[in-house]
Amino acid sequence: MSDPKSPSERAAPAVTEAEAARAIAEAARSLAGLAASTLVSVDIASMTPYTPGRPWRLLAEELQIPENDLCLLAANENVLGPSKLGIEAAQRALEEVNLYPDGGSILLREALAARHGVTPDHISVGNGSNEIIELLVRTFVGPGETVVTAWPSFVVYRLVTQAAGREILIAPLRDDRYDLSALAALVDQRTKIVFIANPNNPTGTYVPKRQLAAFLDRIPRSVIVVLDEAYHEYAVAEDYPDGVRDFRAHPRLVVLRTFSKAFGLAGLRIGYGGMDPSLVRFLDCVRQPYNTSTVAQAAALAALDDESHLRTSVRMVREGMTHLTQRFEALGLEVVPSQANFLLVKIGRPAAPLVQAMRARGVLVRDMRGYDLPDTIRMTVGTRAQNLVAAELIEELLA
Ligand SMILES: Cc1ncc(COP(=O)(O)O)c(C=O)c1O
């Protein structure tokens, strides 16, 4: 019997379903690109700007609530305020702001390196850890390469990847946790970076050390794995890994930390990444020469030594978390166990009206519709007094 296929058809290599789907997606993207305005790329044209919260002073004025009575529990900041040592150092540094900052953040990197038992060339300092996330994508993810992460997770991974015109592949969370098998299944020869928020924002859940070690063993060493440990200082679970200490031997592991959370310096925008010096060097080529300010560097350096502020902040969060969890569970609400400084609470119905009603009374929690979690709220653990106000208000509004 004659073969009905032409010789070229017979020789064609098998195309997997995933490859076919990718080819279709790429064709669609380039067609959309042709149709898009010439002002920006199709990736940027399809984005919506990140919506920042209303400035709290304006809000207090609008709501006619004294500024000090507002409970700002929407952005996972340190509700105890900044470290006093940090403020004093920042004030002193203001005297020098006629001069450019130290573009190499030398003193801060030395202090961080000593703390982590590495040399300063392992540390890259950024305008918040957000900047390092962006720099990693811009520096290392080339055309045709991809980023892999989970969802719901920190939204900035997606935003910076899209803005850079690169593709992001998303593994859904399973039971509110990173599903490392699903994440590993998305990794292929095109993958350049995997982002893992540990603990995760917005769930507060974490990837335990053994699971993370097994995941790293499965992933090709050519892939950069970014452990975003923005909430590291709050995590107390015994099997919670310290990325810097536990996975030192991994050549492509990047560990991100920030001064925005437990150290209370969110407004100064300073964070850092620990990684192999070869990676730091490439980030140095791409970043702005003076990406962090004199004031931020000085405050961060001083805050690092403020052990007492850090201890008090962490203790307050752990105690408040226990209190709030009990109160919410008594209302029949499901609370996701958290290792961070916030709680994800499942309301069991659309939560936006509750968020709005709380806002009107001066208690700000996070509306989670943007994270595709419309039936939940995310609430920063506040001071004892703030927690009481928030819990009583929720009890009243849900009654
Ligand atoms: C998981 C995660 N990573 C990074 C950041 C960014 O922190 P930074 O203020 O250092 O840019 C946040 C802030 O909310 C976060 O939740």
Task: Say yes or no: 75 and 91 in one domain.
Answer: no
Task: Say yes or no: 181 and 328 in one domain.
Answer: no
Distance 350 CA to ligand 1 centre (A): 26
**What SS3 class is residue 180?**
helix
Residue 25: pLDDT band (50, 70, 90) is low
Q: Which of 238, 271, 306 is the last residue of a domain?
A: 306
pLDDT tens for each residue of 301-359: 999 999 999 999 999 999 999 999 999 999 999 999 999 999 999 999 999 999 999 99
Q: Which of 247, 279, 306 is the last residue of a domain?
A: 306
Q: Which amino acid is at 396?
A: E
Q: Is 197 close to ligand 1, i.e. is its CB under 6 Å away?
A: yes
pLDDT at 8: 41
Task: Say yes or no: 132 and 253 in one domain.
Answer: yes
Distance 260 CA to ligand 1 centre (A): 7
Q: Which domain holds residue 324?
A: 56-80+308-398
| 286-297: average pLDDT | 98
State which of 73, 131, 154 you would mutate to test the pocket of ligand 1, scoring each by most atoms of that ligand within 8 A of its C-beta: 154
Sign of the torsion formed by the C-alpha atoms of 21, 25, 30 and 31: positive
Q: What is the DSSP letter of 185?
A: H
Q: Is 230 close to ligand 1, i.e. is its CB under 6 Å away?
A: yes
Instruction: Indicate whether 2 pLDDT > 80.
Output: no
Q: Is 300 close to ligand 1, i.e. is its CB under 6 Å away?
A: no
- Residue with the smallest CA separation from ligand 1 atom 8 is 128
* d(C-alpha 113, C-alpha 44), whole Å: 37
Distance 128 CA to ligand 1 centre (A): 7
Of the ranges 22-26, 213-217, 322-326, which one carries the lowest mean pLDDT score? 22-26
- Residue with the smallest CA separation from ligand 1 atom 12 is 230
CA contacts within 13 A on the Cβ side of 247: 28
Distance 35 CA to ligand 1 centre (A): 35
Per the structure, the count of domains in the chain is 2
pLDDT at 11: 44
Distance 129 CA to ligand 1 centre (A): 6
List of residues 6+ apart from 330 with CB closer than 8 A: none
Distance 230 CA to ligand 1 centre (A): 6
Task: Say yes or no: 261 and 191 in one domain.
Answer: yes
Task: Say yes or no: 132 and 167 in one domain.
Answer: yes
Residue 26: pLDDT band (50, 70, 90) is low
pLDDT at 166: 97
pLDDT at 14: 54
Q: Is 271 close to ligand 1, i.e. is its CB under 6 Å away?
A: yes
Task: Say yes or no: 72 and 174 in one domain.
Answer: no
pLDDT tens for each residue of 63-118: 999 999 999 999 999 999 999 999 999 999 999 999 999 999 999 999 999 999 99
- Residue with the smallest CA separation from ligand 1 atom 16 is 201
Task: Say yes or no: 163 and 240 in one domain.
Answer: yes
Q: Is 376 close to ligand 1, i.e. is its CB under 6 Å away?
A: no
List of residues 6+ apart from 288 with CB closer than 8 A: none
Distance 229 CA to ligand 1 centre (A): 9
pLDDT tens for each residue of 158-178: 999 999 999 999 999 999 999
pLDDT at 4: 42
Contact (CB, 8 A) for 387 and 324:
yes
Sheet holding 271-274, edge to edge: 123-126, 271-274, 253-258, 224-228, 191-197, 146-151, 167-172
Q: Is 129 close to ligand 1, i.e. is its CB under 6 Å away?
A: yes
In our burial notation (b when 16+ CB lie closer than 10 A, e otherwise), range 190-207 reads bbbbbbbbbbbbbbbbbb
pLDDT tens for each residue of 258-274: 999 999 999 999 999 99
* d(C-alpha 396, C-alpha 399), whole Å: 5
Distance 314 CA to ligand 1 centre (A): 17
Sign of the torsion formed by the C-alpha atoms of 360, 363, 368 and 374: negative
pLDDT at 33: 54
Q: What is the mean pLDDT of the chain?
A: 92
pLDDT tens for each residue of 218-259: 999 999 999 999 999 999 999 999 998 888 888 999 999 999
